[in-house]
Homo-oligomer: A and B are copies of this chain.
Amino acid sequence: MDKILRIDVGVSGGPSFQTDSLASYAGLGGRAMTSAIVAKEVPPLCHPLGEDNKLVIAPGILSGSVAAMSGRLSVGCKSPLTGGIKEANAGGQAAQVLARLGYAAIVLEGKPADDTLYKVLINKDGVKIIPANDLKMLGNYDLIDKMKAEYGDKVACISIGPAGEMKMAAASVAITDMEMRPTRHAGRGGVGAVMGSKNIKIIVLDDAGMAMRSPANVEKFKEANKNFVQGLKKHPVTGQGLPTYGTNVLTNVINEAGGFPTFNFKQGRFDGAAKIGGEAQAELEISRGANPTHGCHKGCVIRCSGTYHDKDGHYLTKQPEYETVWAHGANCAIEDLDTIAMLDRLDDDYGLDTIEMGATIGVAMEAGIAKFGDAEAAINLVKEVGKGTTLGRILGNGAGITGKVFGVERVPVVKNQAMPAYDPRAVQGMGVTYATTTQGADHTAGYAVTANILGVGGSVNALKPEGQVDLSRNLQIATAAIDATGMCLFIAFAILDQPDTFQSLVDMVGAFTGKETTADDVTALGKQILTWERDFNARAGFTNKDDRLPEYFKKEKLAPHNVVFEVSDDELDQVYNW
């Protein structure tokens, strides 16, 4: 991981590439790498789909090593959805393979000279960029099947579906999983549209002949990794809850807490929650021969990803995540797991963020385009997006645009990005994160559900404003650092609760890089990343007025607790005051 691959798509006659040394980016990985490059190289006022934007793809610091859980790939750019800086990350195999191929980042830059679509092949022999108009408008599943036929099933792929080609602001970048299925998505903020704007359909990564990345201090690293894995296995969330039920273990928990947004954020509990929760889902999966306990990349020990089969026992999609079950389920008052799974499959195939799509359909239902609870209508709406019909183009550009086009007032977005599956009135720490993160409404940026609901890393009353700013600030800093390591964010449950597990992670980074590393270094890295991102956003025109929830969250009471969002603007302005 000592070089950066830069692909200039703006050369007439087709893209050219060069391999750069890391220079000032040395030592960075994941979100630290993507945000550093975007902040330094992308003009903040450029058009997100224009020649000056760059798509940066970076494995984490530990990716490609034997470190457990180190398979996250960061994808960064100026976001077509928010207009600010964006880092979306995903699991799957690509981070490991890319790291082993020696690349700390791939940067797609420039503006295509014509509309030829390309695929990029990277292996031990180097880089090939090949015209691939035969791949135009293929869904991710068909696309990956073609790659499998051509390159075998040991490669890893980074691709876009039709939504990315159509430059929709809800378009994701898909990453293949261990079975080479396009199920892991850097979903948020329209990173797929930026890849589409560069006319790159797919990057195929083949690490045959390459070695595992080796740590500076092998023994110390091995020991730290062992302790780290033990820590993950002993924590109830990472050792039991997530493996058994997947992320959807949260549905009944958040619903019980009254923070499960239903009917487009109208109420905090959904009558049909139990029907779509993780317990019901795992049972159904098992009964159909699918597997609820499965990793999305090699080296995963939490194994929350799973598979979902249709009624006939055939693979339909990955096990839908909690956020997806909420977005396509409760938020649209849909209580049928097969519908949700079909929507998940369609989103993955078209290359769409399930959170943005579910929130968008909720807004469309509020606008009267379809009825809440109408499962068939929801499926048809997502199909419109995949086909790129006029309605589909609206929806494919997200909840904010959909709200504007149809004159809807209740649109749950911050910085134009749709809120995920926690109502900020009933989980006020999440509200602080939604409001203030550089990313637009994003649960992963500072997952206050930990202390607000799960009693992980302390306890802060979810319904009150007190303590939420400190909670969110600390989580945002820690998260940014974790997102730089390549580690799955779910390790946070264990490291927040278990100081020795946190120390194992710090030791692992130190042993790998060979540089003495302390907890303070981790904090400093997190702050550095957030500072780069905040600075980019400020130069793009963001102010504290963008760090606000839509007004109705302060006015409309949310049942069953009948609460509004109570963290004051002045308090929100203190999140980045460290």
Contact string against B for A residues 464-497, beta-carbon threshold 8 Å, 1 for contact and 0 otherwise: 0000000000000000000000000000000000
Chain A, range 165-191, C-beta contacts under 8 Å to B: 166-169
The reply to whether the CB of A150 lies closer than 8 angstroms to some CB of chain B is no
Among B539, B541, B551, point to the contact of A52 (Cβ < 8 A): B551
Q: Considering residues A43, A47, A80, A404, which has the most beta carbons from chain B within 10 angstroms of its beta carbon?
A: A404
Contact string against B for A residues 523-552, beta-carbon threshold 8 Å, 1 for contact and 0 otherwise: 000000000000000011111011010111
Docked-complex contact B539 and A545, CB < 8 angstroms:
yes
Docked-complex contact A47 and B401, CB < 8 angstroms:
no
A397 to B400, CA, bound (A): 13
Docked-complex contact B407 and A168, CB < 8 angstroms:
yes
Among B46, B391, B542, B546, point to the contact of A390 (Cβ < 8 A): B391
Docked-complex contact B409 and A401, CB < 8 angstroms:
no
Q: Considering residues A47, A539, A540, which has the most beta carbons from chain B within 10 angstroms of its beta carbon?
A: A47
Looking at the assembled complex, report how far the CB atom of A257 sits from the nearest CB atom of chain B, in whole angstroms: 28
- Which residue of chain B has the shortest Cβ distance to A43 in the bound complex? B551
Contact string against B for A residues 145-175, beta-carbon threshold 8 Å, 1 for contact and 0 otherwise: 0000000000000000000001111000000
Chain A, range 370-414, C-beta contacts under 8 Å to B: 390-391, 393-394, 397, 401, 404-407, 409
Given A390-B390, A543-B543, A545-B540, A551:B46 Cβ within 8 A: yes
Among B47, B390, B406, B541, point to the contact of A543 (Cβ < 8 A): B541
The reply to whether the CB of A280 lies closer than 8 angstroms to some CB of chain B is no
A391 to B391, CA, bound (A): 7
Chain A, range 388-442, C-beta contacts under 8 Å to B: 390-391, 393-394, 397, 401, 404-407, 409
- The complex is assembled from copies of this chain, and their number is 2
Looking at the assembled complex, report how far the CB atom of A258 sits from the nearest CB atom of chain B, in whole angstroms: 25
Docked-complex contact A45 and B545, CB < 8 angstroms:
yes
Given A43-B551, A45-B551, A405:B405 Cβ within 8 A: yes
Which B residues are CB-close (under 8 A) to A543? Answer: 541, 543
A52 to B551, CA, bound (A): 10
The reply to whether the CB of A330 lies closer than 8 angstroms to some CB of chain B is no
Looking at the assembled complex, report how far the CB atom of A401 sits from the nearest CB atom of chain B, in whole angstroms: 6
Among B45, B193, B404, B550, point to the contact of A401 (Cβ < 8 A): B404
Chain A, range 28-50, C-beta contacts under 8 Å to B: 43-47, 49-50
A194 to B396, CA, bound (A): 26
Given A404-B397, A539-B545, A551:B390 Cβ within 8 A: no
Docked-complex contact A409 and B540, CB < 8 angstroms:
no
Docked-complex contact B405 and A49, CB < 8 angstroms:
no
Given A46-B551, A47-B551, A52-B551, A401:B407 Cβ within 8 A: no
A49 to B551, CA, bound (A): 12
- Which residue of chain B has the shortest Cβ distance to A549 in the bound complex? B45
Given A394-B390, A543-B543, A546-B541, A166:B551 Cβ within 8 A: no
Chain A, range 46-65, C-beta contacts under 8 Å to B: 46-47, 49-50, 52
Looking at the assembled complex, report how far the CB atom of A413 sits from the nearest CB atom of chain B, in whole angstroms: 12
Looking at the assembled complex, report how far the CB atom of A290 sits from the nearest CB atom of chain B, in whole angstroms: 37
A288 to B391, CA, bound (A): 43
Looking at the assembled complex, report how far the CB atom of A83 sits from the nearest CB atom of chain B, in whole angstroms: 10
Which B residues are CB-close (under 8 A) to A405? Answer: 393-394, 397, 401, 405
Among B46, B407, B548, point to the contact of A193 (Cβ < 8 A): B407
Which B residues are CB-close (under 8 A) to A197? Answer: 407
A43 to B555, CA, bound (A): 14
Looking at the assembled complex, report how far the CB atom of A27 sits from the nearest CB atom of chain B, in whole angstroms: 31
Which B residues are CB-close (under 8 A) to A52? Answer: 551
Docked-complex contact B407 and A167, CB < 8 angstroms:
yes
> Nearest 6 A-B pairs (CB), nearest first?
A541-B545, A167-B407, A390-B391, A390-B390, A47-B409, A393-B405
A-B contact pairs, 8 of them (CB 8 A): A390-B394, A393-B406, A394-B394, A397-B404, A540-B545, A541-B543, A541-B545, A543-B543
Apart from the given pairs A49-B409, A390-B391, A394-B405, 14 other A-B contacts in the complex at a CB distance below 8 Å: A43-B551, A44-B545, A45-B548, A47-B550, A80-B404, A168-B407, A193-B407, A390-B394, A393-B405, A393-B406, A401-B405, A540-B545, A541-B542, A543-B543
